[in-house]
Structures are given as structure tokens and as C-alpha cells.
Homo-oligomer: A and B are copies of this chain.
């Protein structure tokens, strides 16, 4: 099965109960709307790619980990778009959840997706309970306080946020969670996989900053210029477009170099290069030397 199909199928299975019979209809519809159709599914693809490079000894565990990471990502998008945060009307080219379903259902959808992520791990891994404890810890650290995406978002409410802590938590943590979860699901020691997740996460952040400056809203599927509007730090604004592009290239190399020895290292290296190269906004062609 193609890895993209694996991700969609794992998400379908996760949502089957939560958005199924007996659920309040609006909530059920909003849960599906928040998860399908997806964006690039970069994070769960990384879970799968790392697990495959490590032998993918337990594909069901891998799929559950990939689904959990993506559910938490979707939850963070729904809450980030709320009027109290980015107040973004558009997400993945369609109205944001709070625009389509109202603010109460948007808050609750995010909550339900967070719960569902942990429930999915427990449901699939009830026969591999040691993995369950490890994966739950990895996923929780990637999303909670003090260092996960929720904490990252909370740094935006601080007058003086340390830039490194902010970006590491807001963007990097879930990428680190994805590489650690992929290795853990495959039954190997996850710590050597931390640097890869951190490099991909930083590359993604720089690319996102470039897109916020360069793209138009229609192409991006969400509002642009948000960082300047919200006085958020932006690598393209700080380093210039050329500087940010150079930084992104260096991070693509760093990610490829960070892959630990494993059976599928060569294939993974190719895949990570392709995936992180795809981060480069198309508009950067204009800035080529």
C-alpha cells in the first residue's frame, strides 16, 4: 500500500468511532472536516518513513502513531485559527472550522481530536503495552507543556518570548515527535532520531516564514502576511529572502546528514531530501542566482 493511503486509512479508522453513530452530528461533521481532505500529511509521512527505514516491525503501531501525530496537528490548526489566536478564515483552501461550524464546535473539535490521538494509541497498542507507554509519552511531550505545540502557541501571549524556545515548541516539537514515534513504533531506540526531527522542523519553519512573505493567499490556502501583522518573528524578514533560502538549503543538508545508521538509511535520505526540497516555495525561483 502507498504510504499516503496508509495515512488516510489510519485516520479513517481513528475517526470511525469518534465521528460515528451516537456522536452529536455537528461535532462529528466538524471532526471529519478538520481531518479530511488533509494537507501534505508531512508529519505522518515522516512517521512512516522513519519506521520503514528501521524495518517497520509492527505496521499497526506505526499507523497508530502516524494517525495520532496527524490528529494532534489537525487539532492545533483548528485551535490556532480561532478568533482568539490567528482569527484565520481560511485553512487548506476552505473556510476554517470555526467559520464553517461556529466557535463552540471548533473548540470542542480540537479537544476531541486531542483525546482521540491518545485513544487511538491505546486502542491499537493494547497488546503492545510497553510501546504504548513510550509512544504516549513521546506524543504528549510533542504537544503539551512545557515544550510542545500548545506551549509554543502560549509563547505568543508572552511579552518577551525566547525565539528558540518558541519555534522549537510551536513547530519543531511535533516533527521531533514524528521521528521519535516512527522509530519507537518500529521497536528501535528513538533518541538517535531526535536530530533528524529537529532539522526537518527548523527547515519547515523557515519555509513557512518564506511562504508567509512570498505567496498569495489563494495558493497557500490560508491568509498571508500573518507574521508581520502579529509581530511574530519571521526568518525571511530577519535574514532577507536570500538569507532565508540559504538557511533552508543548509537545513535540508543537515536533515539528510542527521539520519542514523539503519537498514533503510539510503532510501530515507533520498526521501527526506525530496520532502524538504518540496518545502521551498515556488516563488523562490525568481530569487535564483
Contact = CB atoms under 8 A, between A and B. Distances in A.
A144 B107 contact: no
Nearest to A116: B144
A38 to B, nearest CB: 19
A177 to B, nearest CB: 12
A225 interface: no
Interface stretch (A125-133, A235-243, A276-284): A125-133
Contact of A155 (B24, B75, B122, B140): B24
B146 A104 contact: no
Interface in A12-32: 17-28, 31
- Copies of this chain, complex-wide, total 2
Contact of A18 (B107, B118, B146): B146
A125 B115 contact: no
Interface in A90-107: 102-105, 107
A137 interface: yes
Given A79-B111, A154-B105, A118 B145 contact: no
B84 A151 contact: no
A31 to B, nearest CB: 7
Contact of A110 (B21, B111, B156): B111
B112 A157 contact: no
Most chain B beta carbons < 10 A, residue from A104, A130, A153, A154: A154
Nearest to A114: B114
Contact of A151 (B23, B103, B125, B126): B23
A148 interface: yes
Contact of A19 (B17, B119, B130, B145): B145
Given A105-B157, A114-B114, A119 B140 contact: yes
A136 interface: yes
A57 interface: no
B133 A130 contact: no
25 contacts: A18-B145, A19-B145, A20-B146, A22-B146, A22-B147, A24-B146, A24-B151, A24-B158, A26-B158, A79-B108, A84-B104, A105-B154, A107-B107, A110-B111, A112-B145, A114-B114, A114-B115, A115-B150, A118-B136, A121-B136, A122-B136, A122-B137, A129-B130, A132-B133, A132-B136
In the A-B complex, the 5 residue pairs with the smallest Cβ-Cβ separation, listed nearest first, are A129-B129, A23-B146, A115-B144, A119-B140, A122-B136
